[in-house]
Amino acid sequence: MTSQEWKNKGNFLTIKNQQVFVIDEGNSDKTLVILHGYPTSSYDYHKVLPELSKHYRVIIHDHLGFGFSDKPIHYSYSLIEQADIAFLLWKQLKLQKVTLLAHDYGTSVATEILARYTTKLVNIEIEELVFCNGSMHIELANLRLIQKLLKNKYTGKFVGSLTNYPIFKRNMRNVYFNKSKATDVELQEMWEQLMFNGGRKIIHKLSNYINERYFFWHRWIGALKETQIPTKIIWAKNDPVAVFKIAETLADEVPNNKLYPIENSGHFPMLETPEEWCSLVLNG
């Protein structure tokens, strides 16, 4: 599927005076909300949406600064604000009960949501959590060099201005287990969405989420340790960034969880091994 075809499937909703791109597909009375990863977009789910939407009403939005959503220059791009946007979106869609699935960057948005949920600051009911290949335990993550450079307040803007498609393609391929699954066509579509609507100017700002993972560690890991929500931990074992040790650590500390490893798959299992990943989400 091309990125234009994906865009045609969705709509734009106004949240806090910003245009947020949203996919809303499926007619089930059960709702699955998805928080995508970095530096990509809701497009990560184009291979699995047809199957997921047979079982759920699936709602995926592009975080501000990503994909087809607005990319304002004067904006913090804090994970706290990304959680605000998600809540306001779900409120506008009148959601009451959801399964919350998060991958990569989205897992930290999800843990901020969980921190509010455990203190009863929100009125949406989360029936199940699904976490997938995210560096919530940032101290265990194996960050790529470009991530370290982009998150740095001195080098970030400069490195962001120099980022190009060959660099993006190389870094994306390196987080796949089977490099042949990261096709040139698909990677080009991802790159175009990253650059869409002035994306180059704010890419370094998006990378500050790594610093927030350290700063809010106690708040977010604390929420994971407190939650009683049934939780699936679906983890590709060959992820070179969000290493499997993170999944094992989460399995030891989240009270009501089950760990589902995926063999021979890297950081984007919904793209690299979509059938197995989808089956675990739906059936476990």
CATH code at 232?
3.40.50.1820
For the chain, the maximum distance between any two Cα atoms, rounded to a whole number of angstroms, is 48
| Residue (of 58, 75, 44) closest to 268 by Cα position | 44
Question: What string of H, E and C letters represents the secondary structure of the chain?
Answer: CCHHHHHHHCEEEEECCEEEEEEEECCCCCEEEEECCCCCCHHHHCCCHHHHCCCCEEEEECCCCCCCCCCCCCCCCCHHHHHHHHHHHHHHCCCCEEEEEEECHHHHHHHHHHHHHHCCCCCCEEEEEEEECCCCCHHHCCCCHHHHHHHCCCCHHHHHHHCCHHHHHHHHHCCCCCHHHCCHHHHHHHHHHHHCCCHHHHHHHHCCHHHHHHHCHHHHHHHHHHCCCCEEEEEECCCCCCCHHHHHHHHHHCCCEEEEEECCCCCCHHHHCHHHHHHHHHCC
Average pLDDT over residues 177-206: 93
| Residue (of 266, 234, 273) closest to 250 by Cα position | 234
What domain count does the chain have?
Answer: 1
Instruction: Pull the structure tokens for residue 188.
Output: 């080009």
pLDDT 10s digits, 57-116: 999 999 999 999 999 999 999 999 999 999 999 999 999 999 999 999 999 999 999 999
Percent of all residues in the chain with a pLDDT value above 90, rounded to a whole number? 84
Residue with tokens 């706290």: 80
Query: How many CA atoms does the CB half-sphere of 181 hold within 13 Å?
Result: 17
pLDDT 10s digits, 129-177: 999 999 999 999 976 655 555 555 545 554 555 578 998 999 999 999 9
CB 82 within 8 A of CB 108: no
CA distance 20 to 13: 5
CA distance 189 to 13: 23
Non-local CB neighbours of 196 within 8 Å, separated by 6+ positions? 67, 68, 71
Q: Where in the sequence is the domain holding 228, given as residue range(s)?
A: 3-282
First to last CA, the chain: 27
Average pLDDT over residues 240-252: 97
Q: Which of 149-158, 185-194, 206-215 has the lowest mean pLDDT?
A: 149-158
Average pLDDT over residues 245-274: 98
pLDDT 10s digits, 28-66: 999 999 999 999 999 999 999 999 999 999 999 999 999
